Amino acid sequence: MAKASIKTSAFELAKSRQFKAMKVYHNMVKARVLEQRLIKMSKSEDGFFWIGGPGEEAFNTVLGQLIHKGQGLDYDYMHFHYRQSATLLALGMPMIDAIRQMNNKVTDPFSQGRNFVNHFVKKEWNVMPITSPIETQYAIAPGTAWAQKRHGGKGITIVTGGDAGSAEGDFASCLNFSSRPGMELPILIIVTNNQFGISTPFQQVHGDKIIAKRAEAFGIQWDTVDGNDPIASYNKLYEAMEYVRFSRRPFCLEAYVSRLHGHSSSSGAAVVEGERDCLDEFEQFLRTQLMIEKNDLQEIRKQYEQEALEALKQVRQEPYPDASTIYEHTFAQGGN
Ligand SMILES: Cc1ncc(C[n+]2csc(CCOP(=O)(O)OP(=O)(O)O)c2C)c(N)n1
Ligand SMILES: [Mg+2]
């Protein structure tokens, strides 16, 4: 079988005028380098558990670039999955903050060292808490979309999750709540299909060949996209987001992505042979279509590797949370 690669031509790239190739590349490399650093931390004494997004950098980077970032109903709300580091970086998260959460330091701005890595939350940017129980975000997301429908304006809600999780009832609830006649919601429902739920292959457990097509039964428009191609992803996301933003109706998009290091540190986090690598493919594209030199690309990577290393050195010096704070920010304040 021929090796799959980016199908977009330079002409199509030129057509999508707002796509900034080097800006996308920078963020993709930064995200890959960050995740590789986090994996190394999980194998040394710098972290306990890793889960993250190597293989989703193309799709998640352009998603982040298209989001209207801000606080409150006039901006986009995000209900994300745990493979979304590239999106947070594209929104402006410093690399060091993810490293702080991985190292369980009190300086971690998302959970003060208490949650797993890649479990972001940021009120100022409308990033709702990422949870370990999968798919719950699909049942919750219509809540912000509903508030935005009533509020008016151009803010939309975006929810992401995996293929396996779409088998849970929360996904059906999301389709149902987003499409009630006369109360259709401004929500972009994204499924990132990496063909696996931990160790269960997609083909063994899904009678539905195209997950997004399930939206059709609810009168929701849907589409699929090659999530390994940042240009195709940009164009498709741009169209889908414009549709939701201006029609105030839902849209369901399924992106086919890779899972380059397996499920998590629980499955070893080793490189998986045979998966498409969006970064390799985009580098190839930049070199052949835009004549960018290999050395220049390598320099960019080195720069982010240095940033990640310096960040780790700094984070190692930072304090852990104090045991006395264990019940803060829980339902059982004070432990009662
Ligand atoms: C409600 C719930 N059920 C089961 C699990 C265990 N679990 C963690 S990740 C995962 C697989 C998720 O697969 P998918 O939705 O395809 O997302 P991916 O990890 O592939 O991105 C499962 C079953 C969980 N965390 N929460
Ligand atoms: Mg999956």
What is the C-alpha radius of gyration for the chain, rounded to an integer number of angstroms? 20
Give the pLDDT score at 13.
Answer: 62
In the structure, ligand 2 is a single-atom ion and the residues with CB under 5 Å from it are 162-164, 194, 196
Using the predicted structure, report yes or no on whether residue 32 has a pLDDT greater than 50: yes
- Residue 10's pLDDT band, with cuts at 50, 70 and 90, is low
Residues 128-154 have pLDDT tens digits of 999 999 999 999 999 999 999 999 999
Please report which helix (H) or strand (E) contains residue 254, including its range. Answer: strand 251-256
Cα(50) to centroid(ligand 2), Å: 16
Residues 267-313 have pLDDT tens digits of 999 999 999 999 999 999 999 988 899 999 999 999 999 999 999 99
Give the integer Cα–Cα distance in Å for 43 and 269: 9
Give the pLDDT score at 89.
Answer: 98
Beta bridge partners of 197: 200
- The 8-class DSSP code of residue 59 comes to H
Atom of ligand 1 nearest to the CA of 264: 19
Cα(170) to centroid(ligand 2), Å: 16
Give the pLDDT score at 327.
Answer: 86
- Residue 2's pLDDT band, with cuts at 50, 70 and 90, is very low
Mean local confidence (pLDDT), 242-265: 98
Atom of ligand 1 nearest to the CA of 135: 1
Using the predicted structure, report yes or no on whether residue 17 has a pLDDT greater than 90: no
> Which of the ligands is closest to the CA of residue 165?
1
Give the pLDDT score at 328.
Answer: 84
Planar angle of CA 80, 201, 265, nearest 5 degrees: 60
- Name the residue with higher pLDDT: 327 or 294: 294
Give the pLDDT score at 287.
Answer: 95
Cα(332) to centroid(ligand 1), Å: 27
Mean local confidence (pLDDT), 200-208: 95
Q: What is the pTM of this model?
A: 0.95
Cα(162) to centroid(ligand 1), Å: 7
- The 8-class DSSP code of residue 292 comes to -
- Specify the 3-state DSSP secondary structure of 73: coil
Using the predicted structure, report yes or no on whether residue 19 has a pLDDT greater than 90: no
Cα(312) to centroid(ligand 1), Å: 28
Using the predicted structure, report yes or no on whether residue 71 has a pLDDT greater than 80: yes
> Which of the ligands is closest to the CA of residue 134?
1
> Which of the ligands is closest to the CA of residue 199?
1
- Average pLDDT over all residues of the chain: 94
Closest CA to 194 of 5, 7, 16, 57: 57
- Residue 201's pLDDT band, with cuts at 50, 70 and 90, is very high
Q: Which residues contact 55 (CB under 8 A, 6 or more apart)?
A: 194, 257, 258, 259, 260, 261, 275, 277, 278
Question: Does 3.40.640.10 match the CATH number of domain 25-316?
Answer: no
Q: In the chain, which ranges are continuous DSSP H helix? A: 10-15, 21-43, 57-66, 85-91, 95-102, 136-151, 169-178, 202-205, 230-247, 278-289, 294-317
> Residues 300, 29: contact at Cβ < 8 Å?
yes
Parse the chain into domains and list their residue ranges.
25-316
Q: Which residues contact 245 (CB under 8 A, 6 or more apart)?
A: 154, 156, 186
Residue to mutate (ligand 1; options 137, 192, 198; most atoms within 8 A of CB)? 198
Percent of all residues in the chain with a pLDDT value above 90, rounded to a whole number: 90
Atom of ligand 1 nearest to the CA of 166: 15
Give the pLDDT score at 1.
Answer: 36
